[in-house]
Structure 1
Amino acid sequence: MLNAPPPFHADPDRVTFDRKELGLILSTYGRFVAAGEWRDYGMSFLRDVAVFSVFRRAAEHPLYRIEKRPRLRAAQGAYAVIAMDGRVLKRGHDLAQVLRVLDAKLIRPVD
Protein backbone atom coordinates (compact mmCIF):
# COMPACT_ATOMS: atom_id res chain seq x y z
CA MET A 1 0.00 0.00 0.00
CA LEU A 2 1.28 3.44 -0.93
CA ASN A 3 1.78 6.02 1.75
CA ALA A 4 -0.72 8.79 1.14
CA PRO A 5 0.31 12.33 1.99
CA PRO A 6 -1.26 13.65 5.17
CA PRO A 7 -4.49 15.61 4.64
CA PHE A 8 -4.13 19.35 4.26
CA HIS A 9 -4.62 21.29 7.46
CA ALA A 10 -4.65 25.06 7.50
CA ASP A 11 -2.03 26.66 9.70
CA PRO A 12 -3.94 28.33 12.54
CA ASP A 13 -1.14 30.88 12.92
CA ARG A 14 -1.65 32.32 9.43
CA VAL A 15 -4.35 34.53 7.99
CA THR A 16 -5.79 33.22 4.71
CA PHE A 17 -8.51 34.09 2.24
CA ASP A 18 -11.44 31.68 2.25
CA ARG A 19 -12.92 30.28 -0.96
CA LYS A 20 -15.58 32.99 -1.29
CA GLU A 21 -13.08 35.81 -0.73
CA LEU A 22 -10.64 34.33 -3.22
CA GLY A 23 -13.47 33.96 -5.75
CA LEU A 24 -14.30 37.67 -5.47
CA ILE A 25 -10.65 38.67 -5.78
CA LEU A 26 -9.96 36.38 -8.76
CA SER A 27 -13.10 37.61 -10.51
CA THR A 28 -11.83 41.18 -10.27
CA TYR A 29 -8.34 40.06 -11.30
CA GLY A 30 -9.76 38.26 -14.35
CA ARG A 31 -11.55 41.39 -15.58
CA PHE A 32 -8.31 43.39 -15.43
CA VAL A 33 -6.34 40.62 -17.16
CA ALA A 34 -8.95 40.54 -19.94
CA ALA A 35 -8.58 44.32 -20.30
CA GLY A 36 -4.79 43.93 -20.58
CA GLU A 37 -4.10 45.92 -17.40
CA TRP A 38 -2.73 43.22 -15.08
CA ARG A 39 -0.46 40.32 -15.93
CA ASP A 40 0.57 38.57 -12.70
CA TYR A 41 -0.31 38.14 -9.06
CA GLY A 42 1.18 36.88 -5.83
CA MET A 43 -0.26 35.80 -2.51
CA SER A 44 1.25 35.96 0.97
CA PHE A 45 -0.26 34.43 4.08
CA LEU A 46 1.35 35.78 7.23
CA ARG A 47 0.56 35.73 10.92
CA ASP A 48 -1.52 38.93 10.95
CA VAL A 49 -2.36 39.58 7.29
CA ALA A 50 -3.23 37.84 4.03
CA VAL A 51 -2.14 39.76 0.93
CA PHE A 52 -3.12 39.39 -2.74
CA SER A 53 -0.75 41.54 -4.83
CA VAL A 54 -1.37 42.41 -8.48
CA PHE A 55 1.34 43.32 -10.98
CA ARG A 56 1.48 44.83 -14.43
CA ARG A 57 4.63 42.75 -15.05
CA ALA A 58 6.17 40.05 -12.88
CA ALA A 59 9.38 41.97 -12.11
CA GLU A 60 7.71 45.13 -10.76
CA HIS A 61 6.39 46.30 -7.45
CA PRO A 62 2.71 45.47 -7.00
CA LEU A 63 0.25 47.98 -8.44
CA TYR A 64 -2.28 47.15 -5.73
CA ARG A 65 -2.44 45.01 -2.63
CA ILE A 66 -5.69 43.54 -1.39
CA GLU A 67 -5.25 42.86 2.31
CA LYS A 68 -7.22 41.00 4.95
CA ARG A 69 -6.38 41.94 8.54
CA PRO A 70 -8.79 40.23 10.94
CA ARG A 71 -7.58 42.30 13.89
CA LEU A 72 -9.07 45.42 12.28
CA ARG A 73 -12.45 43.72 11.76
CA ALA A 74 -14.13 45.47 14.70
CA ALA A 75 -12.69 48.91 13.98
CA GLN A 76 -12.10 49.89 10.34
CA GLY A 77 -12.92 46.63 8.64
CA ALA A 78 -10.75 43.64 7.83
CA TYR A 79 -10.32 44.38 4.09
CA ALA A 80 -8.30 47.08 2.33
CA VAL A 81 -7.09 47.97 -1.17
CA ILE A 82 -3.71 49.68 -1.04
CA ALA A 83 -2.04 51.47 -3.96
CA MET A 84 1.61 51.12 -4.98
CA ASP A 85 2.55 54.27 -3.05
CA GLY A 86 1.00 52.98 0.19
CA ARG A 87 -2.24 54.97 0.08
CA VAL A 88 -5.27 53.10 1.38
CA LEU A 89 -7.82 53.49 -1.44
CA LYS A 90 -10.67 51.77 0.39
CA ARG A 91 -11.13 49.95 3.67
CA GLY A 92 -14.22 48.17 4.94
CA HIS A 93 -16.06 45.16 6.31
CA ASP A 94 -17.42 43.88 2.96
CA LEU A 95 -14.80 42.63 0.48
CA ALA A 96 -17.06 43.05 -2.57
CA GLN A 97 -17.67 46.70 -1.66
CA VAL A 98 -13.97 47.33 -1.04
CA LEU A 99 -13.02 45.81 -4.42
CA ARG A 100 -15.38 48.21 -6.22
CA VAL A 101 -12.79 50.98 -5.80
CA LEU A 102 -10.80 49.18 -8.51
CA ASP A 103 -13.70 49.29 -11.00
CA ALA A 104 -13.09 53.02 -11.54
CA LYS A 105 -9.54 52.15 -12.64
CA LEU A 106 -10.92 49.87 -15.37
CA ILE A 107 -13.03 52.59 -17.04
CA ARG A 108 -11.02 54.52 -19.64
CA PRO A 109 -12.10 57.17 -22.11
CA VAL A 110 -12.50 56.06 -25.70
CA ASP A 111 -10.47 58.02 -28.24
Structure 2
Amino acid sequence: MNSLTPLSGPGTEVVAFHRTELAVILSLYGRMVAAGEWRDYGISSLKEVAIFSVFRRTAEYPLYRIEKRPKLRSRQGEYAVFGMEGQVLKRGHDLKTVLRVLERKLIRPVD
Protein backbone atom coordinates (compact mmCIF):
# COMPACT_ATOMS: atom_id res chain seq x y z
CA MET A 1 0.00 0.00 0.00
CA ASN A 2 1.62 3.22 -1.14
CA SER A 3 0.61 6.35 0.76
CA LEU A 4 2.18 8.68 -1.79
CA THR A 5 0.08 9.69 -4.76
CA PRO A 6 1.55 11.46 -7.79
CA LEU A 7 -0.04 14.86 -8.27
CA SER A 8 1.27 15.45 -11.78
CA GLY A 9 4.70 14.51 -12.97
CA PRO A 10 7.81 13.29 -11.18
CA GLY A 11 8.81 14.83 -7.87
CA THR A 12 5.33 16.18 -7.08
CA GLU A 13 4.05 13.34 -4.92
CA VAL A 14 1.72 14.04 -2.04
CA VAL A 15 0.50 12.00 0.92
CA ALA A 16 -3.10 10.83 0.59
CA PHE A 17 -5.48 8.60 2.52
CA HIS A 18 -5.95 5.17 0.99
CA ARG A 19 -9.48 3.98 0.18
CA THR A 20 -9.52 1.62 3.18
CA GLU A 21 -8.41 4.42 5.51
CA LEU A 22 -11.11 6.74 4.16
CA ALA A 23 -13.72 4.02 4.70
CA VAL A 24 -12.80 3.85 8.40
CA ILE A 25 -12.80 7.64 8.79
CA LEU A 26 -16.05 8.16 6.86
CA SER A 27 -17.78 5.45 8.88
CA LEU A 28 -17.03 7.39 12.08
CA TYR A 29 -17.95 10.65 10.32
CA GLY A 30 -21.37 9.26 9.35
CA ARG A 31 -22.12 8.18 12.92
CA MET A 32 -21.10 11.61 14.26
CA VAL A 33 -23.26 13.41 11.68
CA ALA A 34 -26.21 11.19 12.64
CA ALA A 35 -25.61 12.11 16.29
CA GLY A 36 -25.65 15.81 15.37
CA GLU A 37 -22.04 16.38 16.44
CA TRP A 38 -20.38 17.04 13.07
CA ARG A 39 -21.65 18.83 9.97
CA ASP A 40 -18.85 19.15 7.41
CA TYR A 41 -15.37 17.91 6.53
CA GLY A 42 -12.41 18.76 4.36
CA ILE A 43 -9.52 16.68 3.02
CA SER A 44 -6.05 18.03 2.28
CA SER A 45 -3.28 16.05 0.59
CA LEU A 46 0.08 17.74 1.03
CA LYS A 47 3.71 16.80 0.49
CA GLU A 48 4.29 15.24 3.93
CA VAL A 49 0.83 14.91 5.43
CA ALA A 50 -2.77 14.04 4.57
CA ILE A 51 -5.38 15.78 6.74
CA PHE A 52 -9.06 15.01 7.29
CA SER A 53 -10.59 18.03 9.07
CA VAL A 54 -13.94 17.84 10.84
CA PHE A 55 -16.19 20.87 11.35
CA ARG A 56 -19.27 21.57 13.43
CA ARG A 57 -20.19 24.37 11.00
CA THR A 58 -18.73 25.06 7.57
CA ALA A 59 -17.23 28.50 8.29
CA GLU A 60 -15.18 27.79 11.39
CA TYR A 61 -11.98 26.17 12.54
CA PRO A 62 -11.92 22.38 12.54
CA LEU A 63 -13.05 20.61 15.71
CA TYR A 64 -10.60 17.79 14.99
CA ARG A 65 -7.88 16.97 12.50
CA ILE A 66 -7.04 13.39 11.60
CA GLU A 67 -3.53 13.33 10.16
CA LYS A 68 -1.49 10.73 8.33
CA ARG A 69 2.29 11.28 8.29
CA PRO A 70 4.08 8.28 6.73
CA LYS A 71 7.49 9.57 7.88
CA LEU A 72 6.45 8.92 11.50
CA ARG A 73 5.45 5.30 10.77
CA SER A 74 8.52 3.79 12.42
CA ARG A 75 8.46 6.17 15.41
CA GLN A 76 5.28 7.14 17.26
CA GLY A 77 2.93 6.10 14.47
CA GLU A 78 1.74 7.67 11.25
CA TYR A 79 -1.80 8.51 12.46
CA ALA A 80 -2.77 11.26 14.89
CA VAL A 81 -5.90 13.08 16.05
CA PHE A 82 -5.55 16.73 17.01
CA GLY A 83 -8.05 18.87 18.93
CA MET A 84 -9.21 22.37 18.14
CA GLU A 85 -6.28 24.03 19.93
CA GLY A 86 -3.73 21.77 18.24
CA GLN A 87 -3.24 19.36 21.14
CA VAL A 88 -2.52 15.73 20.28
CA LEU A 89 -5.46 13.65 21.50
CA LYS A 90 -4.14 10.29 20.29
CA ARG A 91 -1.27 9.04 18.13
CA GLY A 92 -0.48 5.55 16.93
CA HIS A 93 0.17 2.97 14.23
CA ASP A 94 -3.42 1.70 13.82
CA LEU A 95 -6.05 4.11 12.46
CA LYS A 96 -9.02 2.39 14.14
CA THR A 97 -7.29 2.52 17.53
CA VAL A 98 -6.41 6.19 17.11
CA LEU A 99 -9.99 7.08 16.14
CA ARG A 100 -11.40 5.52 19.31
CA VAL A 101 -10.62 8.78 21.10
CA LEU A 102 -13.33 10.40 18.95
CA GLU A 103 -15.80 7.51 19.26
CA ARG A 104 -15.97 8.15 22.99
CA LYS A 105 -17.78 11.40 22.14
CA LEU A 106 -20.73 9.26 20.92
CA ILE A 107 -21.13 7.62 24.32
CA ARG A 108 -23.30 9.82 26.50
CA PRO A 109 -24.69 9.15 29.95
CA VAL A 110 -28.39 8.34 30.10
CA ASP A 111 -30.41 10.73 32.27
TM-score, structure 1 normalization: 0.89
Q: Where do 4+ consecutive residues of structure 1 move more than 6 Å? A: none
Match of residue 22 from structure 2: 22
Match of residue 74 from structure 2: 74
TM-score, structure 2 normalization: 0.89
Deviates more, 1:41-50 or 1:98-107: 98-107
Identical-pair percentage: 69
Instruction: Provide, for residues 58-78 of structure 1, a one-character-per-residue CA deviation record: whole Å limited to 9, x for no partner.
Output: 001000000000000000000
* Alpha-carbon distance, 1:83 to partner: 0.3
Aligned residues: 103
Secondary structure of the residue that 2:82 maps to in structure 1? strand
How far apart, CA to CA, are the structure 2 residues paired with 1:22 and 1:64? 15
Match of residue 85 from structure 1: 85
Which has more strand, going by share of residues? 2
Match of residue 33 from structure 1: 33
Residue identity matched to 1:104 = R
* Alpha-carbon distance, 1:108 to partner: 1.8
Match of residue 47 from structure 2: 47
Give the RMSD, CA atoms, in angstroms: 1.2
